[in-house]
A and B are shown apart, each in its own frame.
Chain A
Amino acid sequence: MTAPASSKDRAVSVPAVRGVRWSLASKQAAFGVAIIVPTLGILAIFRFLPMVQALYLSLTEYDLVHPPKFAGLANFASLLQDPLFLKSARVSLMYVLFSVVPVIPLSLGLAALFNRPLWLRNVLRSAVFMPVVMPAVVMAVVWTFMYQQDGVVNTILSWFGVDPVPWLRSSATSLWAVILIGIWRATPYYMVIFLAGLQAIPADYYDAAQMDGAGTWATFWHITLPLLRPTLLLVIVMNVIVAMKVFAVPLIMTGGGPADSTRVLPLFIYQTAFEFFDMGRAAAMSVFLFVAVMLFSFVQVRLFTRQDDNR
């Protein structure tokens, strides 16, 4: 057995270590690691560990009070036979589809508009961006009042002879009302991203197209859109992820009703966990949502990169 080194031995070894000469590349690599490690540590503790914990919980029966009991894949199996879960997944899918699709042309159109010289352009940009700054809770409360029988929305509709619409009090309209808010809120945010993308396209391309006699539509189709592809990908992926996680607005405005018509998956997960205290099942739903988001993002990235490779 090796005898422990004396304090004298250790004191001698220090200069030897200090004597090691580090190349510039090694120093830069070490510096890079030193910067990344704390961030990775924080991510690991506050992001990845809870994700692993959720994955574990999804395989258990856990009511918050008694210790988790291993249940294998039972939670996942029961989800697929649960009409409430399937309805909630369908509501989420509807929300994602109809809140994401209109946002792309709307935000791109606004970005194109605000990319041109306009009177009071910066003021208008700020005004359009306001919904993004507003907290979701405040927004939900304000819109709840706006959607009432005598609220602003129905008052405006009445000017055109339209009868009051029970926006939040009818299964037929409640999801559309919530979707409209999603579009209203997301459009200016993605407009800013598109604006940054548009401003990154060199003006030379447009000058050359103009000299070649290309019209507005041809310029947009053959120059703007192809060069905006990375931005478009970012916007679609981000928008879908945000839409799949929508929670506060339906919670506050409808609580998921009437008759579950606005109970999106995150809201159902919340209710299952903190109202029904079925943490295992809620975790299984979270895993399902996570996999769905990952799959969608993966497919999107693949589709866009494949098209790039084919060019």
Chain B
Amino acid sequence: MKRWSMKHVASSLAAAAILTLNAGGTVSAAEPPANFPKQPVTIEIWWHEYGPFTAYVKELIEAYKKVRPNVTINPVVTSSGDINQKLTVALATGTGPDIMDQDASFYELYYAKGVLEPLNLDVFGAKSYDEVAARYTPGGLAAATFGGKIYALPYQGNSMSLFISNKAFAEAGLNPVKDAPKTWNDMIALGPKLKKVQGTRTVQKAFDFPYHSPRWEIQMFQPLVEQFGGRLLSADGKRAYINSPEAVKALTLWRDVTKVTGDPKTTMNTPSNPNQDFIDGRTAMWVTGPWATSQIQQSQVKDAFTVVSYPQVDPAKPHTIVYGWMWGVNKAKPEAQKIVAWDFIRFMLAKPDDWLAKVAFVQPVKGVNETAVAKNFPFFDVHMKDVATATWYIRSEYTNEIGQAVGRAIERTVYDGMEPKASLDQAQAEVDKVLKKAAP
């Protein structure tokens, strides 16, 4: 497999030009929209810390200054774990930023709280929200659209795929492509071949589910439930099906796979580094997104990994998940600042292939897979294949509470040995109580 290089970035410039206007709309960077303020304007932007991401956004701020010299942009970078609390408190106290960066699943909450400014169509040179949505992949703006209006734009929409350590497979006499698990039953069959135990110590797991945060737990649990034909929430988010027969099957499968392949008691994964076990060689297989590619390449794994599609219950009915982060604009800010904020978002998102090349974030815009950057990105076709069968991470005003309830249910079963049905019944009761708050 080829390493990502500047040569590839350079070779993709031509394709980047094609894409430049895809997400950004028809207004070029040099021509501000008619209502763009002429006077000096200062805006503030907050985003979550991730090295390559921070570097790229800072680069974009510098570039924007050249085309909009009357605009000053103050950046504030904060950790991904803290951004939700900081942002919500700031929005509540009227000190929030002009542009916010937040996990897509939280926009439902912000929309419900009335703190989001709808996308400015003039800035994007569009006549309707449908026109903007048409620039994105089908469902690409699903997590950003409320009441027919677009309130945020994603800079990354991640699929989840299975990353395989070539070294671990080779040591077990397996081929990472030919012998890769297509189903969860395949995964169970591979467990004894790849799991290494010395005495009572697990020194290599074949595969493990995530346990470092409820967010990641639900990120894996939701597609399992959907693979069995169920769902966690109703379309309007008002009813939960946490203890449905499909969810019970999903948690039972989770437990059974874990028994044979994993050892959740030995994980070194953390919210700030969820891929730690994989890059340290503690696990042979791990489900993560394309954004992890550069991190894995820079680790001891280097290029010795293979990415295959997310394992399925039934490969004939594939189901995966997509989650992402989006930019939104604070409704409480003065009109001139809101126009500038949307203009800068448009500017930032104008080059999806740059995002892919520099940060390994996949924007869900049409045509991104046609670029040279995408064609040279390791296993891009696999990621796109998994996105095509994905549904967005659950949308609810109570994402945190639901995530924690499901996370607890999983941990009760995996760590404490509680039966999946009993554990999910408890989670259902907890979530029902939360959703009751939303009932009119």
Complex interface bits, B89-118 against A, C-beta within 8 A gives 1, otherwise 0: 101100000000000000001000111000
Complex interface bits, B421-440 against A, C-beta within 8 A gives 1, otherwise 0: 00000000010011000000
With both chains docked as a complex, state the minimum distance between the C-beta of A66 and any C-beta of chain B, in angstroms: 7
Candidate in B213, B265, B434 with the most chain A CB atoms within 10 angstroms: B265
Is the pair B415, A171 in contact by a Cβ cutoff of 8 Å? yes
Query: Residue B182 at the A interface, CB < 8 A?
Result: no
Query: Residue A275 at the B interface, CB < 8 A?
Result: yes
Pick the contact of B114 from A65, A170, A271 — CB < 8 Å? A65
Is the pair B213, A169 in contact by a Cβ cutoff of 8 Å? no
Within 8 A of B (CB), among A106-136: none
Query: Residue B201 at the A interface, CB < 8 A?
Result: yes
Complex interface bits, B260-275 against A, C-beta within 8 A gives 1, otherwise 0: 0000111110000000
Neighbouring A residues of B199 by C-beta, 8 Å: 163
Query: Residue A197 at the B interface, CB < 8 A?
Result: no
Is the pair B201, A164 in contact by a Cβ cutoff of 8 Å? yes
Pick the contact of A65 from B85, B115, B411 — CB < 8 Å? B115
Neighbouring A residues of B109 by C-beta, 8 Å: 277
What is the bound-complex CA distance between A259 and B430, given in angstroms? 13
Is the pair B408, A63 in contact by a Cβ cutoff of 8 Å? no
Pick the contact of B416 from A83, A164, A259 — CB < 8 Å? A259
Neighbouring A residues of B434 by C-beta, 8 Å: 276
Pick the contact of A259 from B85, B91, B213, B408 — CB < 8 Å? B408
Q: A84-B430, A258-B411 are in contact. Are A64 and B267 (CB under 8 A)?
A: no
What is the bound-complex CA distance between A262 and B404, given in angstroms? 14
Is the pair B416, A63 in contact by a Cβ cutoff of 8 Å? no
Q: A63-B113, A149-B201, A276-B400 are in contact. Are A169 and B264 (CB under 8 A)?
A: yes
Neighbouring A residues of B211 by C-beta, 8 Å: 169, 257-258
With both chains docked as a complex, state the minimum distance between the C-beta of A285 and any C-beta of chain B, in angstroms: 15
Is the pair B113, A255 in contact by a Cβ cutoff of 8 Å? no
CB closest residue in chain B, given A274: B85
What is the bound-complex CA distance between A219 and B140, given in angstroms? 78
Main SS class of interface, B: helix
Neighbouring A residues of B419 by C-beta, 8 Å: none
What is the bound-complex CA distance between A166 and B265, given in angstroms? 6
Query: Residue A148 at the B interface, CB < 8 A?
Result: yes
What is the bound-complex CA distance between A83 and B434, given in angstroms? 13
Neighbouring B residues of A149 by C-beta, 8 Å: 201-202, 265-266
What is the bound-complex CA distance between A109 and B93, given in angstroms? 50
Complex interface bits, A265-300 against B, C-beta within 8 A gives 1, otherwise 0: 000000100111100000000000000000000000
What is the bound-complex CA distance between A27 and B169, given in angstroms? 86
What is the bound-complex CA distance between A132 and B266, given in angstroms? 29
CB closest residue in chain B, given A169: B265
Query: Residue B8 at the A interface, CB < 8 A?
Result: no
Complex interface bits, B34-65 against A, C-beta within 8 A gives 1, otherwise 0: 00000000000000000000000000000000
What is the bound-complex CA distance between A64 and B398, given in angstroms? 14
- Give me the interface of B with A, judged by CB distance under 8 Å: 84-85, 88-89, 91-92, 109, 113-115, 199-202, 211, 213, 264-268, 398, 400-401, 404, 407-408, 411-412, 415-416, 430, 433-434
